[in-house]
Amino acid sequence: MKPAAFDYQRIASADEACAVLAQMGEDARILAGGQSLMAVLNMRLAQPQRLLDISRCAPLQQLRADQGALQVGAAVTQATLEWRPTLAQELPLLQRALPHISHFQVRNRGTVAGSIAHADPSAELPLCLLALRGEVLLKSARASRRVRAEDFFTGMLQTARRADELVEAVRFPLARPGQGFGFEEFSVRHGDFAVCDVAAVADGERLRIAVGGVADRPVARDFPLLQGDALADALNDFAWQLQARDEPQASAALRRQLVRQLGRRAVEQALADRSGRLHPASISAGLPA
């Protein structure tokens, strides 16, 4: 399996990438970590005319916490985030989700924004961005705009990004005091694509549950704080609303059951995590496992 021929351009700035995208549109593809795109090229499922390699573009490698969010530039790898010493305090949900993303060797090169731009319905990072009400920063030669995660994912591998736009960065809102987070995933083997993954965010009043791997995109719902039978009923309704399909890997019934089970566990985790997080002294520092 070898890619079809293409022209290659190493990109030095977001503006440079946008200028080419304005001219070439979908004939040009952004190459960030390439952990999805290169496989797609090797299998010749895509044959772009030109690759725009942003992996060494310094302005897009920025990672900074500002205005209540962690802004992750388009060329920041998943490993950079995973090994960030302050991640456990800033984004506990990502700390739990990142080890589920493929494997160490792939996270070393795969990018955070690239996974979100790719929009695989079972992928962990789109799910977390949605659960946390994050945003995607899009830039074109014409203008820049911010799109809420809720509006960004529009279908299977489909997003609101226009053909002349670059995903410049993504923004994950930082954890606030009193919030708790849960993440659960089922896959056939560790590191495989999730059959179903669930993220839960709880605070003193509300509960937000996001489910990946079942519908054609990650889907989030907001609830009042629920426990016991009320939670089970809500998760059951949610599971049916996602309109799971029968596929060789997993039946619709299995996926609904996973939403119910993983959902309950993720919510319990989030509620427990919330009480732990009310006492800042009990938050353990250090690197993710």
Q: Site map for other proteins, 77-116, x if CB under 8 A?
A: --x---x---------------x--xxxxx-xx-------
Which lies closer to other proteins via its Cβ, residue 243 or residue 249?
Answer: 249
Contacts 24+ apart (CB under 8 A), 254-257: 254/195, 255/195, 255/196, 255/213, 255/214, 256/214
Query: Quick one: which of 9, 89, 257, 261 contacts other proteins (CB under 8 A)?
Result: 9
Residue 96 near residue 183, CB atoms below 8 Å: yes
Whole-angstrom distance between the N-terminal and C-terminal Cα of the chain? 35
Minimum distance from residue 99 beta carbon to other proteins (Å): 7
Site for other proteins contains 281 (CB under 8 A): no
Q: How many CB atoms lie within 10 A of CB 7?
A: 12
Count of residues engaged in binding other proteins, rule: CB under 8 A: 37
Q: To 5 degrees, how large is the angle CA 233–CA 236–CA 238? A: 110
Q: Which residues in 182-211 contact other proteins (CB under 8 A)?
A: 189-191
Nearer to other proteins, 194 or 214 (CB): 194
Per DSSP, what are the bridge partners of residue 166?
139
Q: Is 222 helix (H, G, I), strand (E, B) or coil?
A: strand
C-beta of 45 vs 143, nearer to other proteins: 45
The answer to whether the Cα torsion of 235, 236, 237, 241 is positive or negative is: positive
Contact code string over 26-45 relative to other proteins, x by CB under 8 A = --------xx--xx--xx--
Write out the residues near other proteins by the rule CB under 8 A. 1-12, 34-35, 38-39, 42-43, 50-51, 53, 55-56, 79, 83, 99, 102-106, 108-109, 189-191, 289
